[in-house]
Amino acid sequence: MRISLANIAGDIRTIEVPASTTIAELSARAAALFAPQALVNVWLALNGTPLADQAATLQTAGVHQDDMLFVQIEAAGAPPAPVQPAAMSAQAAGANPAIPPGFVEAMQGRLAGMHRQQAIEENLRLAMEHTPEAFGRAVMLYVRGEVNNVPVTPFVDSGAQVTIMSRSLAVKCGLEPLIDTRFAGVAVGVGTAKILGRIHAAQLRLGDNLFLMCSFTVIDDTPAEGAPKGTQQRHSAHALRIQDINIPFLPEHELPASARGLNAPSEEEPAASSSGTAAASPAPAPTPAAPAPPAAVPPPQAARSSPAPPPVNVSEEAIQQLEALGATRDMARQLLTHARGDVELAAALLFQ
């Protein structure tokens, strides 16, 4: 079994011993650990109770796995007087100033911390052996694409709830006039970002021949922390597969500087987070296509200025209906406000 020995100085030694080890044998081993060059007398105590029977085994003395025993060492002079259990109990309880009150509890807490640190070190060793890529910088997954005929480098997030776009990219793609500010809010994930609104429909091209009509949630140009792709490429996930079309992930040397974690400005700004499935079919990266000129987008026909809409009366029943679908109370209230009190529209927004 594994037990720990602690002396009054706070030194802790963890050892492996058989359950059949006697108290006398363990005392001799404790003397070798704590005072190898001196002739000493050793007394052991468990949870403040002295272990006076030197012939008893650890099992019969009530010592279990991961228990901690207090070791008291005295210089050997004259033959020691017989140990009185009552005196040892008083000493363990703190009557003797050599054993401060709370010492055993403090040592047990320290021992628990040592065991926790040992588990952490073992977990670290396991990770370094089996997943060494977790300790390096991993470039995230990007593909080649276009938004409104403007070349972009979309970032692929297979767990994304919406497709996001920065405000500067919306300006670059000529889509800023189409931002519906009624869908403004706050995006919460790894950090937070201000949502400026939503572009309800724009053409997104992925790869060479996949064209999708897509809506974009436009966020402020606040830099956000990104999580590395981890083990996807380690398990041969080299392409995004949509409708039986493989869209290769871009190799690192084809990414813009900002996507590689560099501070240099890039013409191709990372654009959108696209939901999809990582396919385990390796595919070579195609030759970059020549960028097409951006298409002019007519301004929306809606009037530039309009009177402020009347306040929305959000009912408690509607909030509870959205909470039953998984929304928080604040989220339900915000969705109902955007939907002007329409529960069905708010539910549709929740699952987008």
| Planar angle of CA 223, 226, 231, nearest 5 degrees | 165
| Maximum Cα–Cα distance across the chain | 106
- Rg (Cα) of the chain, in Å, rounded? 34
Active site residue 221: no
Q: Is 161 helix (H, G, I), strand (E, B) or coil?
A: coil
How many CB atoms neighbour CB 206 within 10 A?
A: 22
| Planar angle of CA 324, 326, 329, nearest 5 degrees | 80
Q: Is 83 helix (H, G, I), strand (E, B) or coil?
A: coil
Q: In what order do the strands lie in the sheet containing 68-75?
A: 12-16, 2-6, 68-75, 40-46, 49-50
How many CB atoms neighbour CB 175 within 10 A?
A: 21
State which amino acid sits at residue 299: P
Structure tokens at 30: 């404790």
CB-neighbour burial class of residue 270 (10 A; exposed 0-12, middle 13-18, buried 19+): buried
Estimate to the nearest angstrom the gap between the alpha carbon of 39 and the chain centroid. 53
Tell me which residue has tokens 């897509």.
Answer: 214
Tell me which residue has tokens 């809010």.
Answer: 185
The 3-state DSSP composition of the chain as helix, strand, coil percent (nearest 5) reads 30, 25, 45
How many CB atoms neighbour CB 15 within 10 A?
A: 14
8 Å CB contact between 219 and 187:
yes
Can you tell me the distance from the alpha carbon of 278 to that of 352, in angstroms, rounded to the nearest whole number?
Answer: 21
φ, ψ of residue 109 to 5 degrees: the values are -65, -40
- Which one is catalytic: 157, 220, 221, 342? 157
Q: Which residues are catalytic?
A: 157
